[in-house]
Structure 1
Amino acid sequence: MAPQRFHEQFEQIQRSMPDVPLAMGPDDSAEFIYEKGYVLVRDGEDARLVEDAVRAHFTAEPDLVQDHVRRASPRTNRSGITRIRVGDPGEGDRAGDRAVAHALRALRATEGRAGRRLVSRNHLVGITGGVNSCPGDEPAPVPPGEELNPAAAEGTYEADTAVGVLVVDTGLMHDYRSHPLLAHTEGDAQIKECDDDGVLQEYVGHGTFIAGLVAAVAPNTDITVRNSLNDAGAILESEFGEKLFEAVDAGGWPDILSLSAGTANGRTDGLLGVEAFMQELRDQRTLLVAAAGNNGSATPFWPAAYADLPEYQDVVLSVGALRSDGEFGACFSNHGGWVKAYAPGERLTSVLTGFDTPVPYVYQHSTYDACRYGFGYSCTCQSPRHTGALSEEGCTAKPDQVMFEGFAHWSGTSFATPIVAGMIAAHMTAQQESDPRVARYKMLAANAGYAEVRGAHVPALRPPTWRPVPVVPPAPRS
């Protein structure tokens, strides 16, 4: 059966959030996931205006129920937003939500007069999600004897000068300290590593893999990994801003915030759910290094796309992924002028789990016969070949199972991002630069590396210990 990756991932995420009915959007396509029955608005006068406008609009529509329209979350919170119920979340299917669509439509004229957005869907924020609502592929075991890539850089750790890197992600695997690379990493535990049969769940280990990449590139770092995202690497936009605030409140604002999660929303002005966080971030010295997403698209992906807004250009660095040889963009990587730098992001090798006892993993998504983005090299869409459980539901094909014994290969802008975060941290140490935003500009100014992405020449950041992997044509199918 041909894989339907986004639909398969949707099912997986919905299972991880059984009490939150989800839909794909916008209404005539599948570019993002959002909560059914609810919209997001700012607290205060905006919320009152939206409630009144939606009720009036629904009164004129015989099959919409104005009695559904009401506040559904606290009127005040640090993120400055509230959810408004506009319909029954249990109605309809995953193809869209008519009540939400009409609620947005009810505010179009008012938003036009105000010159700003007043209402939004409550999007699902995922580990570099969207049309490809997950990393670029699933992790693959590493052959015995193969080393980390990037390899661990030479250097010493000094507590007084270590650069603070905060990773907001899925947490840390129970055995992460089994590898000395993560000796100076701490944080939250992964929420649930294995299912009831002891099989590794999809998406787990994402935060640990990221921490390993930062530590390999920048040994003089204090890395903190938070489990702000659920075990499927997802969270609603309405909760995302609060989780970001909680993460920085727990240990203070870091030098660098590495974020490998986000969503598209069809707009060019950001996410309502993180608006307050981004405004506070702007007043700090922290640099946000954010993944550009794995949709193979030029559509802005947030929060990474804040890097293209004038008021946030100094605050955010958006990162796309290069393929394994480092010369061109990876097939899955988002691209466009809003992506400010690229780094290796295909078939990297880092820490996962299974150091003490090997852990089984069953693939969820089958590989494709050809690149789903139209590229001609042997990309992660096609290789290594495996059969996935979600792709073959209802069929007789048996999904492939592998064992993890410590390291893994994995791909995605999720992983190009911590490489760049690590390179900035290493630059801060080498140049004794205390300001991460200044370090970012100085490092990019000194960088002589470029790559080609969709015909554009773009800054390419390749760490010294990274080893390119040759690109080969796709293998013929037997």
Structure 2
Amino acid sequence: MTAYRTDPGSLGRPFGRDYAPAVAPLVADPGLRRVVDQQARELLNGSDDPEVRRRALAVRERVRGRWARGGGRVEMLPDQRDQERALVLGGEVLVSAASWPDVEDEARRERLERVEVGCPDLEDRVVRLRGDGDDVDARLTRFVTDLRRQGHATSFSYVTPLSPVMKPCSGRPAPGLATFAEYGPVDRSHGRGVRVAVIDTGVVAEPRSDGWLGDVARIAADAGPASNVDPLDADPADGYLDVSAGHGTFVAGIVAQVAPGAEIIAHRSLTTSGTASDVDVACALIRAVRENAQVVNLSLGTSTYFDEPPLALAAALDVVREIEAARGWETVIVAAAGNAGTRVPVWPAAFGRVVAVGALTSTLRPTRWSSRGHWVDVSTVGEGVVSTYVAGSQAPDVAAEPQTFGRDAWACWTGTSFAAPQVAGAVARAMTEHRLSSTQAVRELLAAGRPVADFGKALRILPGV
């Protein structure tokens, strides 16, 4: 039986109006609409508005500072159109292990040293090269370009941020939902028994008193790299929330709203500056799949210099396929399409096996700021999404209207980051509601969607402000 193919009048509403009554109190504040409009303008007009440019520069400097404190260097690399920009790790490139024997001599001539990849699952699949000197970036650009012309698999070492281009877009306090125990009329059985991994900035350490995200396991900060706790104020530690603090908590709360019975596993791969290397993200993805996540949400992505897939993420998907073949079932990977407003592919969303999610307005119309194109599979509301947030004050140099949030805060945020977890939650709900596998659930949800040019199939799940 086809689970979600219903009458034409309900096309695009796989769950009817289940979520609208529960969220209705959140959209009653008329001031939120103005803030949502401002958030959308910031995403769209980042290169035109002087204040937005100033805040974007402040974000960029915070990102550079975070990597410098760790001994690294981040650079903005214009693509070949000189429009989109990719964040790369300065002085580093990746080469596939298969190509390495043919390019080793050339790497030596360019004074590039082989270093550890930093992910055990990728050490025999990817070679990481590092160089130095004043001209290293020019040498690496020439090195990568020449090798690609010869047909070798190589790429820059990309930084994978929460958006293809880091743009500040502040949250805004919103009225709270009911406690998790009272959350209704959503059926608490939706998603029960489904494990959803959220690879992001982690989850806030202090459990909320309203019960939301109470079942999400916290691994304390003293556990080192294994910790999944969002430090909130670390990049830099200046008394303010970091640029992307609370992002993972917000995303996890969206999954919980759509599939309140799902088991949410939080992985902290991104720093609170909103960035991670593609190797770090690749390693977290492999770990989540190996730990039997049926659905993985990646509210992050990067464009690339040649529009090529980042090598580490491509290798990670090869590992994922091997894990799936050994155990006999597949994990659904959901990723945000990005906020660039162009058809330029954003990775990992643009991989064929990944469910790429674009963003629509609250009326299910295409947003001007969402990335789009033939590679986008599905879209849902991404403007004015309301979810769980964290306590603290926003830094005045990166927020248009700095806000202070208390305990059990809810916030209003805009971006494809917040469309993707709705789809991840919808997959979990569809699995339990109709006893489907994760891949069957995706097919049924897509069949229920309303086609929108360049945005795949439109679904209404959570309402936006």
Would you call these one fold, judging by a TM-score over 0.5?
Answer: yes
Question: Residue 154 of structure 2: which of 102, 119, 123 is its match?
Answer: 119
Alpha-carbon contact 2:203-2:249 (below 8 Å) kept: yes
Structure-2 residue corresponding to 1:280:
319
Alpha-carbon contact 2:252-2:421 (below 8 Å) kept: yes
Q: Identify if the C-alpha distance between structure 1 residues 109 and 409 changes in structure 2 by more than 3 Å, giving closer, same or farther.
A: closer
What SS does the corresponding residue of 2:76 show, helix, strand or coil? strand
Question: Residue 322 of structure 1: which of 343, 349, 360 is its match?
Answer: 360
Q: What is the distance in 2 between the residues matched to 1:185 and 1:440?
A: 24
Structure-2 residue corresponding to 1:462:
460
Report which of the two has the higher share of helix.
2
Q: Spell out, residue by residue over 1:43-75, the C-alpha distance to the aligned partner (whole angstroms, 9 max, x if none).
A: 3x522322322445xxxxxxxxx4x22212269
Q: What is the distance in 2 between the residues matched to 1:130 and 1:326?
A: 25
Between the two structures, name the one with larger relative contact order (CA 8 Å, sep ≥ 6): 2
Is 1:430–2:441 an aligned residue pair?
Answer: no
Q: What is the distance in 2 between the residues matched to 1:158 and 1:336?
A: 31
Q: What is the distance in 2 between the residues matched to 1:365 and 1:432?
A: 45
What SS does the corresponding residue of 1:181 show, helix, strand or coil? coil
User: How far off is 1:291 after superposition?
Assistant: 0.6
Structure-1 residue corresponding to 2:47:
none
Which residue identity lines up with residue 124 of structure 1 in the other structure?
V
Question: Gapped runs of 5+ residues in structure 2?
Answer: 1-49, 220-227, 325-329
Structure-2 residue corresponding to 1:38:
92
Q: What is the distance in 2 between the residues matched to 1:76 and 1:206?
A: 24
User: How far off is 1:243 after superposition?
Assistant: 2.8
Alpha-carbon contact 1:208-1:352 (below 8 Å) kept: yes
Which residue identity lines up with residue 239 of structure 2 in the other structure?
G
User: How far off is 1:186 after superposition?
Assistant: 2.4
Q: What is the distance in 2 between the residues matched to 1:204 and 1:248?
A: 25
Matches within 5 A, 1:16-27: 16-18=66-68, 19-26=71-78
Question: Residue 73 of structure 1: which of 116, 125, 149 is its match?
Answer: 116
Structure-2 residue corresponding to 1:106:
146
Q: Identify if the C-alpha distance between structure 1 residues 426 and 140 changes in structure 2 by more than 3 Å, giving closer, same or farther.
A: same
Alpha-carbon contact 2:332-2:438 (below 8 Å) kept: yes
What SS does the corresponding residue of 1:423 show, helix, strand or coil? helix
Structure-1 residue corresponding to 2:34:
none
Q: What is the distance in 2 between the residues matched to 1:153 and 1:363?
A: 39
Q: What is the distance in 2 between the residues matched to 1:75 and 1:179?
A: 39
Alpha-carbon contact 2:190-2:260 (below 8 Å) kept: no
Is 1:300–2:355 an aligned residue pair?
Answer: no
Is 1:164–2:195 an aligned residue pair?
Answer: yes
User: How far off is 1:288 after superposition?
Assistant: 0.3
Q: Identify if the C-alpha distance between structure 1 residues 3 and 156 changes in structure 2 by more than 3 Å, giving closer, same or farther.
A: closer
Question: Residue 360 of structure 1: which of 377, 390, 393 is its match?
Answer: 393
Question: Residue 444 of structure 1: which of 430, 435, 446 is its match?
Answer: 446
What SS does the corresponding residue of 1:194 show, helix, strand or coil? coil
What SS does the corresponding residue of 2:334 show, helix, strand or coil? strand
Structure-2 residue corresponding to 1:130:
164
User: How far off is 1:468 after superposition?
Assistant: 4.5
What SS does the corresponding residue of 1:225 show, helix, strand or coil? strand
Structure-2-length-normalised TM-score: 0.76
Matches within 5 A, 1:363-442: 363-365=396-398, 386=401, 400-405=402-407, 406-433=409-436, 435-442=437-444
User: How far off is 1:215 after superposition?
Assistant: 0.7
Alpha-carbon contact 1:72-1:84 (below 8 Å) kept: yes
Q: What is the distance in 1 between the residues matched to 2:312 and 2:185?
A: 37
User: How far off is 1:78 after superposition?
Assistant: 1.5
Q: Identify if the C-alpha distance between structure 1 residues 363 and 76 changes in structure 2 by more than 3 Å, giving closer, same or farther.
A: closer
Is 1:140–2:172 an aligned residue pair?
Answer: yes
Q: What is the distance in 1 between the residues matched to 2:185 and 2:428?
A: 12
Identity fraction in percent? 29
User: How far off is 1:126 after superposition?
Assistant: 1.1
Q: Identify if the C-alpha distance between structure 1 residues 187 and 87 changes in structure 2 by more than 3 Å, giving closer, same or farther.
A: same
User: How far off is 1:7 after superposition?
Assistant: 3.6
Q: What is the distance in 1 between the residues matched to 2:306 and 2:116?
A: 24
What SS does the corresponding residue of 1:335 show, helix, strand or coil? coil
User: How far off is 1:229 after superposition?
Assistant: 1.4
Structure-2 residue corresponding to 1:13:
63
Q: Spell out, residue by residue over 1:85-133, the C-alpha distance to the aligned partner (whole angstroms, 9 max, x if none).
A: 2433xx37xxx9212112113314422xxxxx42210010111x223x2
